[in-house]
Amino acid sequence: MFLDLDGTLFDRDSAVRALFTEQHGVFAPELGEIEREPFVERLLELDAHGLGDKRATYGTLVLERGQNPALAERMLEHFYEIYPRHGALFADVPATLAELRGRGLVLGVLTNGRTATQADKLRRLGLEPLLDLTLISEREGLRKPGRRFFELALQRAGVPAAEAWHVGDHPMADVAGASAAGLTAIWRRVPYWPEPASAAASIDALAQLLGLLDAA
């Protein structure tokens, strides 16, 4: 059983909203006294639920405010400095992962992102003891939805694609990518991505995986 991290196990949207709110208190005086809510909402829009390039996100905001581009770099550095303090797992994740392990399943996280950021997140959230393997795109030199990323995970897990499931929130990176590699793709439903055509099933919370397994 492979799982995406951000948006599937980790409540990233709540994490970055809290982070951007904190950044407002730090940087708003340099951005022309922008109000907190417009500041946070604009950054969330540019962040695009993690798909937006962070340097471009802050660069665009600073450009729109008519400020020195050097400010964007400081904001970017600040993002990575304080990010580890924000966010948590969705409430049902620890118990569900423990139950999946209890059923004898091999568990792995497949995540796009920076090695340092994602590895630190896994440690901080206490996920490492519940996982058999972790693939991070920067460390592997591969990214979802690339087929090779999923094939590498299968190789390390020692399971054939026909016996593997992948659960994730993104219709392309997770669902289409896993399906193309021959895995059973489960969509962790979110309101901001369109429903993928290739999902074998959809869930609203990770705990619903247990019912799908019982029915399989």
Q: Enumerate the domain spans of the chain.
A: 2-11+88-215, 12-85
Mean pLDDT of 62-69: 94
Q: How far apart are CA 186 and CA 81, in angstroms?
A: 33
pLDDT for 86 equals 94
Q: 3-state class of 10 per DSSP?
A: strand
pLDDT of residue 47 exceeding 90, the answer is: yes
pLDDT of residue 27 exceeding 90, the answer is: yes
Mean pLDDT of 133-162: 98
pLDDT for 179 equals 98
* pLDDT > 90 in the chain, percent: 96
Q: How far apart are CA 96 and CA 205, in angstroms?
A: 10
Q: How far apart are CA 157 and CA 84, in angstroms?
A: 28
pLDDT for 216 equals 84
Highest mean pLDDT among 80-84, 154-158, 193-197: 154-158
Q: How far apart are CA 113 and CA 92, in angstroms?
A: 23
Name the residue among 203, 201, 2 with its Cα closest to residue 100: 2
pLDDT for 32 equals 87
Mean pLDDT of 118-124: 95
* CB-based contact 93:146 (threshold 8 Å): no
The whole-model pTM stands at: 0.92
pLDDT of residue 177 exceeding 90, the answer is: yes
Burial (CB < 10 A; 0-12, 13-18, 19+), residue 197, is exposed
- Tens of pLDDT along 70-94? 999 999 999 999 998 899 999 999 9
| Average pLDDT of the residues of the chain | 96
Measured in whole angstroms, how far is the alpha carbon of residue 185 from the centre of its chain?
16
Mean pLDDT of 98-116: 96
CATH number of 2-11+88-215: 3.40.50.1000
* pLDDT > 70 in the chain, percent: 100
pLDDT of residue 33 exceeding 90, the answer is: no
pLDDT of residue 66 exceeding 90, the answer is: yes
Q: How far apart are CA 184 and CA 70, in angstroms?
A: 46
